[in-house]
Structure 1
Amino acid sequence: MSTQSPASASSTTEARRFTGRYAFVNAAAGAGIGQAVARALLREGADVAVTDVSARRLERLEADLTAAFPDSRILARVADAGDEQAVAAVFDDVRSEFGRLDLLVNSVGLNRLSAFPDTPLDSWNAVLSASLTSHFLHARAAWPLLERSSAPAVVNVSSLAAEAPVPFGEVAYAAAKGGVLGLTRALAAEGARHGIRANAVMPGLIWNEHLTNGVAGEYVEAYRARRPMGRDGEPEEVADVVLFLGSPDSRHMTGQVLRVAC
């Protein structure tokens, strides 16, 4: 019986499904899914553009990735994922550096817990901007570059909150992540004529440092009570599904949602 942890299991893969391919991952410098996806893509041979709103985190990530994957091209840019001009500028750089894009991964998400009657409009707008509008902006900016690929794909990261939110103040987040599912299906419908596939992952509770640093205990425990596997999911486990959806392994899948640790 293997004693390998879920995280280390994905790190030992010998597959190189993304050799010669170009990928883009936003929200890549945090402790969660985006960083795990970026590392997995580089491990499987991709050249990767990564963005994050934090210059300090991104600088550290770029140094770590460059040391770990010295033969890969890594394009790191600081950008607010909800800022139209910032996103456009980043994709200008991607066009200059890569020429095309084979995979776009939208992993940006922001959740501000607030009881519904007390939710201010600025909080609602901030959550929708980060968790939904950012996906639209990136997909729109990436579209011409995806059209240049022989096997283009978009993978959006939604959340279990889109279908089954807990009653602890995540109305804005649930609305945004539900919107991500609608956006994904619309992109799949419109992208089909261009050969662009669009799918989504819907993670349940995925471990990251924020779960032990300031996130409301009752909120976390409500999600933990639902865990069918009896543990939090690992970011690397979501990354494995993202790579499946972004690779030729899922070449006849579009408009689909795959649940992870739900």
Structure 2
Amino acid sequence: MREEQRQQTQDPEEFKPQPQQLDTQPGKESEMRQTPLSFATQYVGSGKLRGKVALITGGDSGIGRSTAICFAKEGADVFIAYLDEHEDARQTEEAVVAEGVRCQIAAGDLRDPEVPRQLVRKAVDVFGKIDILINNAAEQHPQEDIADVTREQLEQTFRTNFFGLFDLCREALPHIPDGGCIINTASVTAYRGNPTLLDYASSKGAIVAFTRSLSKQLAERNIRVNAVAPGPVWTPLIPLTFDAEKVGKFGEDTPMGRPGQPDEISPSYVFLASADASYMSGQVLHPNGGEIINT
């Protein structure tokens, strides 16, 4: 399976989701019948991040996996944090190490306030610093009616999507040198909303506001804080979240008429992490299949 994943050559423009539903939280890329393009097989690095250390949450699969491998191809050492998708994380670790850099993986639930502190401590113990923090972990639970969004679900979504992100920034900042950067994963739903993802879209809206605010606080240290707001992307979160019928139509409503692949999103993180984006902070990039967003 690992070799098959690394040799993916499928054209994203020809991709059509096939109905499938995953039943076990969290979603595992290794259990998907249609494997996302997440091994950055076509990406060519040029040393833009050589000597840097990146901590990436949700780095086991999907966008996080592709970003980790792209960073490795650019010369960065990578610390991957994930929930408990152990096989996916090991596959990502193997692909990162294959690029000639160091990699460390660590499991932990970001809803636990102690976990961000532990992850940062482990990353610093292994690599001595954190130059780049990528907050990418997230979960979503669609509900047709606001009455069905329980207080428990609302709090769980925010604990993972926003509180964990906030805690990681707070814990990591003492170890991020001046000139470092933070990149948060927002979502197109933060800008146009989603009638069945009220809590998820709200948490992503909070991330946009947080990104803009923290960027101003850290400007004197030249620590850039930006975000990426993907549109529909083919990751384990999709067949885990939606029923088979919706999965089969996933991404059809974009101007390009298809979902994106993780490998089409990760270059945005490389750009924001590199010196190419040295004059950008408080900004959000929108790889979303052509939808015009009011930023």
TM-score by length of 1: 0.89
Give CA-to-partner distance per residue, 1:224-257, whole Å, 9 cap, x none: 2431222211111111001101111000000001
Offset from partner CA, 1:42-78 (integer Å, 9 cap, x none): 1111001111111523652355236523x31112111
Alignment-derived partner of residue 216 in structure 2? 189
1:54 to 84, 96, 100: 84
Q: Which residue of 2 aligns with 1:240?
A: 267
Of 48, 58, 62, which aligns to 1:17?
48
Distance across 2 between alignment mates of 1:22 and 1:222:
38
Change (3 A) 1:58 1:225: closer
Quote the RMSD (CA, aligned, Å). Answer: 2.3
Task: Confirm or deny: 8 A CA contact 1:52 1:58 kept in the other structure.
Answer: no
1:172 and 1:74 mapped to 2: Cα distance? 33
Point out where structure 1 has 5 or more consecutive residues left out of the alignment.
none
Distance 1:90-1:118 versus aligned 2 partners, 3 A rule: same
Deviations 1:133-186 (A, max 9, x none): 11101111110111x25x30111001111111232x211001100000011011
1:34 maps to what in 2?
64
Does residue 129 of structure 1 match 2:159?
yes
One-letter code aligned to 1:156: N
Taking the aligned partners of 2:97 and 2:280, their CA distance within structure 1 comes to 35
Aligned-residue offset at 1:220:
5.3
Which residue of structure 2 lines up, in the alignment, with residue 252 of structure 1?
Answer: 279
SS at match of 2:133: strand
2:72–2:96 Cα contact (<8 Å) kept: no
Query: Normalized per residue, which structure has more helix?
Result: 1
Q: Which consecutive unaligned segments of at least 5 residues does structure 2 have?
A: 1-8, 13-36
Task: Return the match for 2:113 from 66, 78, 84.
Answer: 84
Which residue is 1:177 aligned to? Answer: 204
Indicate conservation of the 8 Å contact 1:109/1:130, yes or no.
yes
Shift in CA distance, 122/213, structure 1 to aligned 2, threshold 3 Å: closer
Q: Matches of 1:175 and 1:181 in 2, distance apart?
A: 10
SS of 1:176's partner is: helix
- Aligned residue identity for 1:198: V
Alignment identity in percent? Answer: 27
Q: What amino acid does structure 1 have at the position aligned with 2:95?
A: L
Partner of residue 94, structure 1: 123
- SS of aligned partner of 1:29: coil
Question: Is the partner of 2:183 in helix, strand or coil?
Answer: strand
Q: Which deviates the most, 136-145 or 9-18?
A: 9-18
Q: Structure 1 55/144 Cα, relative in aligned 2: closer, same or farther at 3 Å?
A: same
Q: Quick check: 212-221 or 32-41, which moved more?
A: 212-221
The alpha-carbon distance between structure 1 residues 212 and 111, as it changes in their structure 2 partners (threshold 3 A), is: closer
Following TM superposition, by how much is the alpha carbon of 1:207 offset from its aligned partner in structure 2, in angstroms? 0.8
Aligned match of 2:148: 118
Give the aligned residue type for 2:190. A
- Contact 1:184/1:199 (8 A) holds in 2: yes
Distance 1:85 1:58, change over 3 A: farther
Residue by residue over 1:79-127, the C-alpha shift from the partner in whole angstroms, topping out at 9 and shown as x without a partner, is 1122221111111122222222111101011101122111111011111
**Cα distance in 2 for residues equivalent to 1:194 and 1:214:** 39
TM-score, normalised to structure 2's length?
0.79
Name the CA distance, whole Å, in 2 between partners of 1:250 and 1:10.
24
Q: Is the 8 A contact 1:166 1:219 kept in 2?
A: no
Matched, 1:106 2:115: no
SS at match of 1:224: coil
Work out whether residues 180 and 222 of structure 2, in 8 Å CA contact, stay in contact via their aligned partners in 1: yes
Aligned length in residues: 255
Q: Could you tell me how far 1:10 is from its partner in structure 2?
A: 6.6
